[in-house]
Structure 1
Amino acid sequence: MTLSNCDEILELVPAFVLGALDADEAARVAAHITNCPRCRAKAESFRDVVGLLPYASGALTPPPRVKRQLFARIAAAHDDAPAETAPASRPMAMPRSTRPGRWVLPAFAAMLALIIGLGTATFEARGRADQLAAQLAFNQQTLRSMELQIAEVRQTATAVEAQLLASVRELDETRLQLAKSQQEIQALRTSERQDEQLVSFIAAPQTVSRPLGTTERAPDDASARMFMQPGHNRLVLMIYGLKSAEPGKLYRLWLAKGNQPIAIGVVTVGPDGVAEFVVDAPEPMDAYDQVMITLDEVDTAAQPSEEVIFEANL
């Protein structure tokens, strides 16, 4: 059979592209598509698709039933061939060419269509996978950017918190210093009022000034003077040149009424040897007969010791 029209050639093109034709038919198809642009374009289209098949999907292992059906179909085609009836000595006329069975070409076409469909689906799936991969990469980059921003915000918040804590500490220190300054101011004002009252008391016309006598236990340059008012309970003592009390001892002021001494208070001497002592006695100073300052043991306050430093009769 002469292959001259395009319809027959187009019918053989799929098998030609897949290499399923014998050498003679393959040569004829090749010669035809060389001179026929239409058939050549169809063959090139099939060849492009077949060239992409290795990338369309991974290797697949056909199930065993496909292999069994294929061998059964080959055996059936072999059984349908006509048996030899001529003698062996008679030469047998060989056909000019052997074309594939009519079932082969449709099978090739169906298989090629199936492969093209699978390739198209695979390409679409691969394109979708590429889109998803690009979207995932974009989301990951956005996530990293957000993590960096969160880290910067946390770092800024930590710095602000540290600065706030430092400001709170400074504020607390300022409050403590202010409270201490207020206490000092209050103490100064109290001392100032006391000094004013002391000066007013000493300078009052009714105030009586009397020196206290020293004993042999007093330092040579020690002196003491008391200020009091008749009918008034206040007593002011001004002491100079007295040494600070030894450890475990203190200076104590006593007022005596008859033979009964009364401990009035402790006299504190400063490092400069000066002591200012102001006290309000239980009774007016006119009620007492004697005043004295003794150096006593710290834990003794019932009776004055024999170490009398200053004394005077009222």
Structure 2
Amino acid sequence: MHDSDREHEQSLLAAAALGSLDPSDLAALEQLLNTSPTARAELQQLRETVALLPYAAAPATPPAHVRARLMERIAADQAQRAPVARPASSRRAGWLAPAMVAVLAVVVLFLGGLTLSLQGQVATLAETNQQLLAAVSDLRQTMAASEAQQAQLAAQLTRSEQQIARLNEQIAHERLLVSFVSAPGVATRELRPAKANLAARGEMYMYPGESQAVVVFSGLPPLQPDRVYRFWLSDGVQRIAAGTFQVDAAGLATLVVNAPREVNAFTEVMVTVEPATDAAPGEVEVILTGTL
């Protein structure tokens, strides 16, 4: 193999691992992977390395002004995007356009920063947990503390362990989101506002033939505690509820969709605002819609 051919293969594998492969190069990548076990092994190693990059730095919480600046940039981008009617063939395009790649980069950076922050919280809680264990051990050995103090420390230890478990679950969730939306070959579909005065949107990332998808929302207003956002899938005959979610103060949220069959078997998606429980009164309002 010539050096130039080898360099081209390395470029293809690196771009695929980073999720920045040009659509025109997809056929070349698939041919390479089908004919070369070595290339498949190299791509797997590169993906594992890229997945570890967000955790190479020490855990740190992003400053408040950085988050504010990011939200301002997202809001400015949405303000500049005027609704433009697109032909059906364009709406069904599965590859990410340059603008979608930019949005994806912002999402990955945001999720990576959030994961680092959660790791820092887990480390702090783990240290506190060890201190509590040592304190409980000393109390049991010396019997100097009262039963009430031991019960209080034991309760605090239980709460700490539960919080660590929740944070570990959230870290696993954020890692799944990062790996899903940044993987090569992912298709995206856009959810647009059902009302002209709503500056909100959704980006749905999916793989043909897979039942799982990820949806990233921005610009949605926070709801009252008795209301929730609900995500729906429709095949033209049946409408299926595929999860509920709330947004943070900045109007951002992510949702992992687990459909009863492959996602591309459905033709439409939508987001509604509904009562949190069936017993609670309130109207159902359609907020976002999209086609698959």
TM-score tier by shorter-chain length is 0.3 to 0.5
TM-score (ref. length: structure 1) = 0.43
Structure of higher CA gyration radius = 1
